[in-house]
Amino acid sequence: MSTLLITHPACLDHLTPLGHPERPDRLRAIDRALEAEKFQTLARVQAPAADFEVIALCHPMDYVTEIRDAAPREGMVRLDADTSMSPGSFEAALRAVGGAVHAVDEVFTKKAANAFVATRPPGHHAETARPMGFCLFDNAAIAARYAQTRHGIARAAVVDFDVHHGNGSQEIFWADRTVMYCSTHQMPLFPGTGAVIETGDFNTIVNAPLRPGDGGEAFRAAFDSRVLPRLREFAPELIVISAGFDAHMRDPLANLNLVEADFAWATQKIMEVADRFAEGRVVSLLEGGYDLEALANSTAAHVTALMRG
């Protein structure tokens, strides 16, 4: 079994305003990086479009149709200060969710060892019925819930190392004892959530905020002291990674100083937990990362780790 790479050209058709950091060039940079010879053994498939019923595992059906109906026939429409839609945005969002749940199917049926889903728009800021922070649907939350409903597992975990806190994933699973959400992120920073004291109704929310200027040492210490012990205690049967690479020192939207090796290390540590409790099942979904060079190199390091390279 090899690592599976899932993407779709429709994700390039989600257009954002000029100068917006979450832009189609992000996927082009990743595509170029993963053309290198060492990635030739990746299995590659295109993301299917998700059924509305799958999205409705985490979002009300009327919200799904609201987002569909918000897409303009031409031009662009803003849903909030940061989040906009173009004519291609809704299909891109369907492919992002569809890629996530297809990855879950492939790892559970042992057709893939694990998977990386390179799609956009990202997802972890989307709350139950609110788009925000460039996100329309919470791809990672849907993947975790889908694994429970479709493949019958009792416990899933989402581990989020994006530099921004995944307020959407936290909100969706706040009162859920069957899904653990763990996040390292910079504070203070958008969206303003993610304090250590935010632990959810059943102590299944694990926040490990970092200070502006922190680098790999503080990041690894947060993983070692807070995230990994709680994950092992929880014993998830699938780990979904919200893989944002905007904690990189080059990223323009934040002030952490991670480098490629830090993302590779975190990926390996997550895989060790998955090997122990989840038969190695890891599904990684692209979230943020806005410096194209840092994004490409960090994704390459992350995927190399998934390939056990």
Residue 176 scores a pLDDT above 90: yes
Annotated active-site residue in 8, 125, 185, 302: 125
Instruction: Tell me whether strands 156-160 and 239-243 are parallel, antiparallel or unpaired.
Output: parallel
- The token duo for 293 is 């060079």
Average pLDDT over residues 281-290: 98
pLDDT greater than 90 at residue 223: yes
The answer to whether residue 125 is catalytic is yes
Tens of pLDDT, residue by residue over 160-171, are 999 999 999 999
CATH class of residue range 3-306: alpha beta
Q: Are strands 43-46 and 3-7 parallel, antiparallel or unpaired?
A: parallel
Tokens of 95: 């492919």
Mean pLDDT of 281-304: 98
The predicted-structure confidence for 70-110, as pLDDT tens digits, reads as follows 999 999 999 999 999 999 999 999 999 999 999 999 999 99
Average of per-residue pLDDT across 243-270? 98
Closest CA to 68 of 54, 52, 80, 48: 52
For residue range 118-164, list pLDDT tens digits in order.
Answer: 999 999 999 999 999 999 999 999 999 999 999 999 999 999 999 99
**By CB neighbour count within 10 A (0-12 exposed, 13-18 middle, 19+ buried), where does 7 fall?**
buried
pLDDT (0 to 100) of residue 227: 98
- C-alpha 240/C-alpha 226 separation (Å) is 18
- Domain spans in the chain, listed from the N-terminal domain onward: 3-306
In this model, does residue 309 exceed pLDDT 90? Answer: no
Rounded Cα distance between 300 and 112, Å, is 18
pLDDT at 301: 98
Convert the pLDDT of each residue in 41-80 to its tens digit. Answer: 999 999 999 999 999 999 999 999 999 999 999 999 999 9
